[in-house]
Amino acid sequence: MGPTSMYVTITSDPTWALPPQRLGSRKTKLPETHLKAGSCLYFEGDPVERLYQVKKGVLRLTRLLEDGRRQVIAFGYPTDIVGFPSDGVHHTDCDVLVDACLQPYRRSTLEDGGGDPQLHRDLLQAALREISAMQDHFMMLGRKSALEKVASFLCVLTDRVGQNLGEYKQVDLPMSRGDIADFLGLTTETVSRTLTQLRKNKIIAIDNIHTIIILRPTALLGLSFGDRD
Amino acid sequence: MGPTSMYVTITSDPTWALPPQRLGSRKTKLPETHLKAGSCLYFEGDPVERLYQVKKGVLRLTRLLEDGRRQVIAFGYPTDIVGFPSDGVHHTDCDVLVDACLQPYRRSTLEDGGGDPQLHRDLLQAALREISAMQDHFMMLGRKSALEKVASFLCVLTDRVGQNLGEYKQVDLPMSRGDIADFLGLTTETVSRTLTQLRKNKIIAIDNIHTIIILRPTALLGLSFGDRD
DNA sequence: CGGGTTCTTGACTATCTTCAACGAAAGTGG
DNA sequence: CCACTTTCGTTGAAGATAGTCAAGAACCCG
């Protein structure tokens, strides 16, 4: 997947496979930012000074409704870019889930090039990929069942940051069940039950709360598309 | 709301109120395109040659899952811009719901300026607004009830293209109930029943299938946020 | 008109949520 | 380092919301 925040979406688009590891040229590069888990990068409504490419760690982008309902918009993993402005301000909160290292870019680089045309192009492409990725996520939120959502989530995360263990795969879930629920439009209870169901069907194993072993990757992928279990 | 496709989202962002009616300067402008209802502007997977600003009419952007499930991504109303590319191809289908007149722009204008910096900036801003609007729509799809979704939909559409009739308002729904359902992540039956419920509670009146009168705009807005009816 | 599509309505069902309890894990202060 | 507290995760039972299936009504188009 490309240099844009992570959406849990099954896409077979092969052009996403090779994200540029380093954007633009090196002139007047801003220093990297290091942030501890639990800290906050920005809040909804803050004026945008910088965009950030995640180098290490995991971020969480959220939006809140007045009555407290919450939607996790995306998780930001390495190579992702977060902080696209709209009318000059942030439209999500952004918190750090896992100690992070971020490369900041000036907002002006996105908006008028700011003397680095290559970086300008890269940031724009990242924004366009973001739009496409969000469209995929619409399908997930609007049209998939709880099982399909959770299966999709595990598949995408495993593809991006999982490890191969022979025929099995393993993936770390640094976020809480509540975060996953708010990302998928479910409740924590439903996420928990769905994981249990996958475990009982021997599709996955739950090594510890934050570490999932994918016992049958192909079966899980099938479930994410709605194949009968 | 700004020059980006319509998402049904309640946002109080005041900066969205004044979309530029004409983007960029006039040099080498492409001729407007006229399309009949029922025709198709592009399909998912088509290479992107042009972006389009809707001048008149209504477009529908959709995405399909292999098994036929469908998600309407957005409806395109006048001032909206549709057709943002990702990796050079379209990621939705785009059909015409109401006879449309479109202003095309070269893809290169978005991607490298193409000799018109102002237009380049405007298109980029439209893309960034699109991201923000989609984030709002996530909240709708993931966290709102059927009643809240339908109420939100009516409110946003009325704000954008409704007419004032004294204390009442009126709005045209050129799309089918199925389109609304696929936009909101519901079934046609649920959309229909929810409209009936609003009618029975005297919040709206259904003049004809495609014309809704908002009898109590404030009450409807309340429902869209989850106030008790 | 007449036939096909779309919309509405009803009865029933399934899925997911809610509420509640319990257990496990993690954080805190002695 | 351990006991205490709190948060987080799992599970169960009950309930609500929205989906499914089916039929009839309204609308549209030739």
Give the residue among B141, B9, B186, B142 at the shortest CA–CA distance from A183. B142
Which residue in B has a C-alpha nearest to residue A110's C-alpha? B124
Q: B92–A130: do the CB atoms touch at under 8 Å?
A: no
> Out of A2, A85, A135, whose CB is closest to B73?
A135
**pTM as predicted:** 0.90
Pick from A141, A166, A182: which residue ends a domain? Answer: A141
Kindly report, residue by residue over A15-52, the tens digit of the pLDDT. 333 345 555 555 678 999 999 999 999 999 999 999 99
Task: Please check whether residues A127 and A90 belong to one and the same domain.
Answer: yes
What is the DSSP code (8-state) at residue B21? S
Task: Please check whether residues A157 and A97 belong to one and the same domain.
Answer: no
Task: Please check whether residues B121 and B174 belong to one and the same domain.
Answer: no
CATH code (residue B179):
1.10.10.10
Kindly report, residue by residue over B35-70, the tens digit of the pLDDT. 999 999 999 999 999 999 999 999 999 999 989 999
Q: Is residue B116 part of a domain?
A: yes
Task: Please check whether residues B101 and B161 belong to one and the same domain.
Answer: no
Which residue in A has a C-alpha nearest to residue B117's C-alpha? A112
Distance A189 CA to C17 C1' (A): 9
Nucleotide nearest to A179 (CA to C1'): D8
SS3 of chain A: the string is: CCCCCECCCCCCCHHHCCCCCCCCCCCCCCCCEEECCCCEEECCCCECCEEEEEEEEEEEEEEECCCCCEEEEEEECCCCEECCCECCECCCEEEEEEEEEEEEEEHHHHHHCCCCHHHHHHHHHHHHHHHHHHHHHHHHHHHCCHHHHHHHHHHHHHHHHCEEECCEEEEECCCCHHHHHHHHCCCHHHHHHHHHHHHHCCCEEEEECCEEEECCHHHHHHHHHCCCC
Distance B95 CA to C10 C1' (A): 34
How many domains does the structure of chain A reveal? Answer: 2
Full pLDDT tens readout for chain A, 229 residues: 344 555 543 433 333 333 455 555 556 789 999 999 999 999 999 999 999 999 999 999 999 998 999 999 999 999 999 999 999 999 999 999 999 999 999 999 998 877 788 899 999 999 999 999 999 999 999 999 999 999 999 999 999 999 999 999 999 999 999 999 999 999 999 999 999 999 999 999 999 999 999 999 999 999 999 887 6
Pick from A122, A141, A160: which residue ends a domain? Answer: A141
Q: Is residue A2 part of a domain?
A: no
Q: Is residue B1 part of a domain?
A: no
Task: Please check whether residues B126 and B26 belong to one and the same domain.
Answer: yes
What is the DSSP code (8-state) at residue A31? P
Q: How many angstroms separate the CA of residue A196 from the nearest CA in chain B?
A: 22
Give the residue among A119, A146, A124 at the shortest CA–CA distance from A26. A119
> Out of A131, A139, A182, whose CB is closest to B86?
A131
Task: Please check whether residues A70 and A127 belong to one and the same domain.
Answer: yes
Q: Is residue B180 part of a domain?
A: yes
Task: Please check whether residues B95 and B129 belong to one and the same domain.
Answer: yes
DSSP bridge partners of A50 = A106
CATH code (residue A35):
2.60.120.10
Q: A142–B111: do the CB atoms touch at under 8 Å?
A: no
Q: Which domain holds residue A114?
A: 14-141
Task: Please check whether residues A65 and A129 belong to one and the same domain.
Answer: yes
